[in-house]
Structure 1
């Protein structure tokens, strides 16, 4: 497929070469053939360049008024609004069998709950509730993953709602796609992608991170190796806008028990292991106390964030004995934390650098040291007796 770099959303040609992001006009800034209307445009079959539409789809402009409301455009000047049961779609050329993550920004236009369905028919689909819980900006970036079952797929966004007010409906913007790679499992760590460096596309100019909604399939996850078990999202953050314990990426846990990340790791039954991780503060004015509930098999520990003055993070660990060939590890925030500057945006503790290792070597090393030392003392006693 021929791709115009001018129409690829805010990504340099080099980054597109490495990450494969062929979403044409993903920021909706390419004008229709007749130009942008000052009060929005009701889209016909080919009104939005690069996209097919079905139903009432409008191009809206930042600052545009609707009744007593001002419409929110996540980035740039324009975005697309989907009316009742309306859909936009685009055909993409992909690599069959690979996993891709779609990053997009979405906002509500009315007070009631609105949802957005993102799909790659006929095999992958998820409906995401758009909640104004995670920031006061009125919009949030989200990520959703799919497996490409063919070398050409159709990416679709649909408003599944049937609102009484036809002017309601979700606004979407900033759509990009990234091919994911599952990192190799380290020899000394049973956790896949424990450093959380492999994940969805993140725009450098977006300071909100990326929300990862519920996903129970670790094989098709925007965060390779990991599940998001609960009915609320967790936030994928970067070093450019947040404090990250190590590397460039980490996870911020939100919403208490409603925001859980987990992974099944390979273990040997009846063997002792240690789960360790970095626990930190995102630097986003999140009110303390911060604490994580860390699960490893049948063990669970409540660990509070108490760093020393020279560090913004600490290392914590949980010891456990494996009961099976696969053991579940999981993390969630103990508290429902909000930011101190707006008193409403959800935030929480940061988890990074997750490791699970077989701890027999450590105990054997200690035992191996003590036994020769004890024998040495007996030899000395016999010599000088």
Structure 2
């Protein structure tokens, strides 16, 4: 009996000293919404002073636990989901370890908002990979945007870190973080009905049910592993990933909105046979997000191009287009971008743009 008690005591002591490791399932990470907060004894005002005080997370640096409605000067801090979020001051970070499958692709989704500075940015990493996501451009009227970032698991445990590399005069000045989720990305395959991978955009990052502004997918200069499988964001700005629960989508449940003109492009390189004819078909529309006005989507297949105008009323709808071309190389770059910048008619501070969906590439016979 004494030996059993000693073994039990050893297990309890070991579990109390080991770092928490989450068992992963698609969706919100354990306490990913930060609704479970620190004890009062672990706080000094709004600052969290114990590195393990926020359940399921480990913190470092100046981290604040913020309640929705809290005031900062003349500004009211609003939390998109639930009642609480965290704020990362200068050189502060939050970390959680998650059980994953080695070799699989994953996408992190999290929501963030600026509070003090215009040049705020976030460093997100799963060692040894990392990326810096700039937050200068706001895409939603609420001040909150959700971001996706992709990675490949190199071991069975992923150590996710969200870090504020800022060096503001006020050490507490930094972005708010809320709603951290993760999703397994299934590698898409080409089919006899489509030479493109993930042409319908159904495979992509997690989208939160209770947010109405979609998920931003950063350019590939910020993320080596695209959270939109099959596609590269070849631009300076992000594209927005939409779902049919909140937006008008031409086909299926997911689509992409080109929200930053020519700075917001998606591309995919596909195998082709020189001299063979192909047809690139796709849908162009609007997301029913008050993005009204004249839009033009430019489609590229190698050196061939097609401009597709779309007169949007901002209430949903779409049209289909086709670009026919003869391949000149064994690999052809397929690319889309919006010719113009667009703003929502009900909010001139929010970028928007045309929606792309149901992209198909097929070999066709000569007439």
Asked if Structure 1 and Structure 2 have the same fold, meaning a TM-score greater than 0.5 normalized by the shorter chain, the answer is: yes
Deviations 1:257-289 (A, max 9, x none): 110100001111121111110111111110210
Distance (whole Å) between structure 2 residues aligned to residue 116 and residue 341 of structure 1: 29
Contact 1:132–1:138 at 8 Å: present in 2 too? Answer: no
1:357 corresponding residue in structure 2: 362
On the 8 A contact 2:270/2:331 being kept in 1, the answer is: yes
Once the two structures are superposed, residues 237-269 of structure 1 have per-residue CA deviations (whole angstroms, 9 ceiling, x without a partner) of: 011111100000000001111101000011111
Map of 2:188 onto structure 1: 183
Higher strand share: 2
C-alpha RMSD of matched pairs (Å)? 2.3
Alignment of 1:78 onto 2:84: yes
Contact between 1:218 and 1:225, CA under 8 Å: does it hold in 2?
Answer: no
- Is 2:105 aligned against 1:99? yes
Is the contact between residue 286 and residue 312 of structure 2 (CA under 8 Å) also seen in structure 1?
no
Structure 1 residue 198 corresponds to structure 2 residue 200: no
Q: Deviations over 1:129-159 (max 9, x none)?
A: 1134311101101100000000011000000
CA distance in 2 between counterparts of 1:105 and 1:198 reads 20
CA deviations 1:292-327 (Å, max 9, x no partner) are 01111101121101589xx81111011112122111
How many residues align structurally? Answer: 345
| Higher Cα Rg, which structure | 1
Matched, 1:157 2:162: yes
Q: Distance in 1 between matches of 2:186 and 2:223?
A: 13
User: Is the Cα–Cα contact under 8 Å of residues 216 and 227 in structure 1 kept in the other structure?
Assistant: no
Residue 36 of structure 1 deviates from its aligned partner by 9.1
Matches within 5 A, 1:42-121: 42-121=48-127
1:286 to 267, 288, 291: 291
CA 1:155–1:218: 2 relative to 1, 3 Å = closer
Matched, 1:212 2:201: no
The answer to whether the 8 Å contact 1:87/1:159 transfers is: yes
Name which of 155, 171, 175 aligns with 1:170: 175
The answer to whether the Cα contact below 8 Å between 1:72 and 1:107 also exists between their aligned partners in 2 is no
Question: Could you say which residue in structure 1 is the equivalent of 2:11?
Answer: none
**TM-superposed deviation, 1:40:** 2.3
Aligned partner of 2:38 in structure 1 is 32
1:219 deviates by 7.8
1:305-358 CA deviation, whole Å, 9 max, x = no partner?
1589xx811110111121221110111111100000012210000000001111
State the SS of the aligned residue for 1:345.
Answer: strand
Shift of 1:69: 2.1
1:256-271 matched pairs, under 5 angstroms: 256-271=261-276
1:226 to 226, 231, 234: 231
- TM-score computed with the length of structure 1 as normaliser: 0.85
Is 1:305 the counterpart of 2:310 in the alignment? Answer: yes
Q: Deviating runs (4+, > 4 A) in structure 1? A: 35-39, 216-219
Work out the CA distance in 2 between the residues paired with 1:220 and 1:111: 29
SS of the counterpart of 1:289?
strand
Gapped runs of 5+ residues in structure 1? 3-15, 367-385
Alpha-carbon contact 1:83-1:168 (below 8 Å) kept: yes
Query: Any stretches of 5+ residues in structure 2 without a counterpart?
Result: 1-14, 16-22
- Matched residue of 2:281: which SS? strand
